[in-house]
Each structure stands twice: as C-alpha cells, then as structure tokens.
Amino acid sequence: MPFDHSIHRLIKKLDILIIRSFIGPFIVTFFVALFVLVMQFFWLYMDELLGKGFGIWTILQLLFYMSSTMVPLALPLGILLASIMTFGNMGEAFELVAIKSSGISLLRFMRPLLFTICAVGGLAFFFNNNVIPVANLKAFSLLYDLRNAKMSLNIRAGQFNNDIPGFAIKIGEKGKDEKTIKNVIIYEGGDYGGNNKVVLAKSGEMSASPDGKYINFKLKDGWRYEEATDKEYQNYGVHATQTRMHFASYDKVIDLAALKLNRTNEDLFKSGYQMMNWKQLLADMDQIKKSRAHDVAVGEANFSPFLPLYSKLETGKKFRAKLDSLQPTELKENKATKPLYFLPDSLRNTVIESAMANARNALQLTGYTATNVNIQDENLVKREIAFFSKFTLSFACVLLFLIGAPLGAIIRKGGLGMPVVVGVAFFVIYFILSKTGEQLTQSRALPAWLGMWFSTIMLLPIAFFMIRQARNDSPIFSREWYSRKWNALKSIFSKKTAHA
C-alpha cells in the first residue's frame, strides 16, 4: 500500500510537471505565430493604409481586431509547436526513458495534457462562436472605412493637388518653413461642374487650423476670377458673366472634412455571415433554403404557361393528357410523323412563330431563375463553411496535439531547431488540406461537412500512426538510424560490385 501511494503521488507530480512544461512554450509559440499572421495582414494592406495620415491609435485598433480573427490559425500552430518542443525536450533529457522505465506508458503521460488541450478546444469554440464574429464586425467595418478614406493633404511645390473634392491647388514654390508659398493657383469647382472660380496670387502663407479641420491660405497681391452662368443655359455655355477682382490681401479657408475618417454604421455589416454565431448561421441557412424553394416554385409557375408540355405542375399533366387525346389516328400509329403536317397551311407559320416566342420567353425565365438559385446556393455554401469551421477549429487543436506530442517523443530534440521545422511542415500540410477541402466545398464538388472535415479525416490516421511509433520508440526521425541503414545499403552494393 505505501508503494502504491508513492506511485500515485509520483504520477500526480508528473501530471503537474508536463502541464507546466507545456504552458511556457505554448504561450511563446502562440503569440509568435499570431504576430507573424498579423504582420502578414499588415504587409498585405500596407500600401492602402500608410500615407493617409491615420493616427497610431486607429492602426492599433485595426491590428487588435485583426489579431482576434487570426486566432483560429495561430492556436493550432501554437499547440503543435509547443507539444513537439515539450516532448522533444523531455526526450532529449532522457526523462521520457525514465518515465517509461518506471512503468508509466506514453499515453498515460500524455493524458493530463490531452485533457488540457480539450479544455482549450472548448474555449476555442466559445471564442470562435462569440468573440470572432464581433471582432470581424469591428475589423471589416474599420478596414472598409480606412481603405475608402481620402489621402491626407500633401501639397507639393510644382504639382497640382486634387485630394480635396472640388479643388485643384498648385503652389509654385514652398519656403523652408513649409508655410511661405509663392505663385499660388487655386481652382474651385461650381455646383454644376467646371472650374468657374480661380484664385491667382504671387505669394502668401499656408497653415492648418489647430483642430486640423480647415486649411487657411493668406494670399497677397493676386486676382480672383469668377464666372457666373445662368443655370438654365449652363449646358450651352451662354448667358455667362465673368467677375474679376484684384486683391492686396485675401483669406481663402478650405474645409478638410472630406479628408477625415468617416465611420460607417456597423449595422450595415451585420448581415455578413462572418459576423454570425452558429445559431444565427443555422437560422440564416434555413431562410436561404426557403427562399430558394420559393424561387424555384415561382420559376416553375412562370415557365408552365409558355411550355406546358414540359411542365411538372398539374397544368402540365392535364395539357399532356389532353394532347394525347387529340392526336390524330395517323400520329398515334406512326410516332415519326411530325404533328405540324396535320395543321392547315394557314395556321402552320402562326403556330411555329408562337412556339418560338414561347421558347424564348421560357429560356429567359429559366435563366433568371437559375441565376437566382445559383447565387443562393453560393451564399448557402459560404454559411455552411462558416458553420462547420466553428467546430473544426476546436478539433484541430486536439488533432495537432495528438500529432505533435508523439512526434516530439520520436524526434527527441528540444529548442527551436528541428521541432519547429517539422512542426511547421505538418502545419503547412494541415493548412493545405483545410484549404483544399474548403475549395472543394465552394465548388460544390463535396458536401460542406465532408469538405470542412477533410483535413481531419486525412490527418487522423497519421496521428494514430505517430502514437503507435512513439509507444514503440520508433527511430524514424533518428539521424543515426538512417546512417546505419545507408551504411548497410552501401555495404551490400560494395559486396555485389566486388563479386562482379
């Protein structure tokens, strides 16, 4: 009994040890992976965001929201790398050998971490279902506003600047203080188009208001031209009068409201499937299915009057029955005979033209219905992908742990060398399989549930294989094992060459 009690205490200590050994590498690898993914997004949109005069707080907000949306990729990668590094460190320090020699199996040693990863998977589902839709709403709405914002005002000497709507500004020379200006030209458009107001000045000063909402030109020694045109004859260029005014000093204040970041109402983005939880997705999918069935029914009803012979409705069945009863005896006996031959010559052309018109109308209606149904099918597939992805993320955490833990025990190398290389390679395989399944789902080559679980189905046998190899202390990742095999192979070829 004392011996059993000591073994039980030892196992508890080992459970705590393995969890503590895992937490540190997991936190590091998770945040490193998240940082790399966020930087990838930033580089993708850098050209559209930089140079517009956005504040650092606005950029940090966008990065924070986008980092939340990157968690579904960073979390499985962090778990995979951390599990490989944890078990690799223990294998390199011969701790796994000591644990196995004490009668504790690898699966029993993995059990506390497996429970921990399952808990992390549950939290990942909660995060993916409740937090990410909100983060997507914030990120996409902010990104939309940033990408559509005007460039910040940057008036360069010798160039026309058209950033402010309704104005074209050119400055011949700029002083070193960035305020003194010379040879100024300001074109201002009217309500009906055209540059009907022009200001010319030899010199002046340019400054922005303290709140940045206005820019003030204090101009000296210039002329102001304004052309007033009768609105009724604006398009004909007549009844126009021009006013010319010379000034010694003139203040021109321009509103910069068009250059400021204007936030769009976030409610406009809430209908997107990326902003829904699983219950909302189910309700939206049900609504799409009902709308699709309604469009098909309406299309069938519209199609029936034009080509009742091919209609599946009750009117089509009655029409075909009546047509069979009215067929001439010769037509019933000889199916190859054309029905048009039994019509009078005076009606034959009329019937043909009417049939062709009905066929064209039926084709147009069918094409319209098919387009609507195709759009609804695409929307349905997108929501099915979003629905299943909320569950596949949680299972991906467990799956990649089941691959990483035995892989680390086989590699028996810690640190950031071989474990990271092998871990990233397996994650790339997982990512490619996931995207392949998603593409097959979008093309409707596979049902959504199969396409979204495609990577799991392909990698789960590999996980079981890795666990089996780790339990048997497989040397498949040992360099010495491959060296021995290569030397043995070379010796066989050497003997055959000697005999020859």
Q: Are 442 and 385 in contact (CB under 8 A)?
A: yes
* CA–CA dist 463, 421 (Å, integer): 18
pLDDT in tens, 371-426: 888 888 888 998 888 899 888 888 988 998 888 888 888 877 766 667 777 778 88
Backbone angles phi, psi at 197, to 5 degrees: -130, 125
Q: What is the DSSP string of 141-170?
A: HHHHHHHHSPPPP---BTSEE--STTEEEE
Distance between the two ends of the chain, CA-based, in angstroms? 68
pLDDT computed for residue 1 by the predictor: 44
| pTM of structure | 0.66
Q: How confident is the model at residue 10 (pLDDT cuts 50, 70, 90)?
A: low
d(CA 355, CA 339): 13
- What does the alpha-carbon distance between residue 51 and residue 32 come to, in Å, rounded to a whole number? 28
Return left, alpha or beta for 252; rule: phi > 0 is left, psi -120 to 50 is alpha, else beta: beta
Kindly indicate the confidence band of residue 295, based on its pLDDT and cuts at 50, 70 and 90: confident
Distance, in Å, from the CA atom of 104 to the CA atom of 112, rounded to the nearest integer, reads 13
**Residue 213 and residue 200 in contact, taking contact as beta carbons nearer than 8 Å:** no
Selection from 203, 261, 194, 198 nearest residue 234 by Cα: 194
Yes or no: say if 96 and 18 are a contact pair by the CB < 8 Å rule: no
Confidence (pLDDT) at 336:
45
Phi, psi of 305 (to 5 degrees): -65, -25
pLDDT at 25 over 80: yes
pLDDT for 61 equals 81
270 contacts: CB under 8 Å, gap ≥ 6: 137
- What are the strands, taking DSSP E only, across 80-213? 160-161, 167-174, 180-188, 197-208
Kindly report, residue by residue over 419-461, the tens digit of the pLDDT. 777 778 888 888 899 889 888 988 888 888 898 899 888 988 8
Specify the higher pLDDT residue, 92 or 131. 131
d(CA 172, CA 270): 49
pLDDT at 132: 87
Question: Band of the pLDDT at 232, cuts 50, 70, 90?
Answer: very low
Identify which has the larger pLDDT, 46 or 239. Answer: 46
Q: How far apart (Å, rounded) are the C-alpha atoms in residues 497 and 397? A: 52
Query: At 227, which helix (H) or strand (E)?
Result: strand 214-229
d(CA 407, CA 421): 12
Q: Cβ distance 411 to 96 under 8 Å?
A: no
Residue-level pLDDT at 328: 54
Tokens of 463: 């996980």
SS3 185: strand
Query: What whole-number distance in Å separates Cα of residue 496 and Cα of residue 305?
Result: 85
Higher pLDDT, 244 or 315: 244
Q: Does the pLDDT value for residue 239 go beyond 70?
A: no
pLDDT digits (tens, 9 = 90+) for 94-151: 777 777 777 777 777 788 888 889 998 889 899 888 888 888 888 888 777 776 665 4
Question: H/E/C letters for each residue in 132-146?
Answer: HHHHHHHHHHHHHHH
Per-residue tokens: 69: 């949306």
Residues 119 and 127: beta-carbon distance below 8 Å: no
How does DSSP assign 229-290, residue by residue? Answer: E-GGGGGGT-SEEEEEEEEEEEEEEEE-GGGS-PPPPGGGGTTSGGG--HHHHHHHHHHHHH
Q: Give the per-residue pLDDT at 495.
A: 62
81 token code pair = 């790398």
Q: CA 379, CA 272: separation in Å to the nearest integer? A: 10
What percentage of the chain reaches a pLDDT higher than 90?
A: 0
User: Would you say the C-alpha torsion 49, 54, 58, 60 has a positive or negative sign?
Assistant: positive
Strand order in the sheet with 214-229: 160-161, 167-174, 180-188, 197-208, 214-229, 240-255
Average pLDDT value over all residues in the chain? 76
- How do residues 456-495 score in pLDDT, each as one tens digit? 889 888 888 888 887 776 665 555 655 666 667 767 766 6
* Alpha carbon distance 390, 353 (integer Å): 56
Question: Mean pLDDT over residues 142-170, rounded?
Answer: 71
Mean pLDDT of 46-57: 65
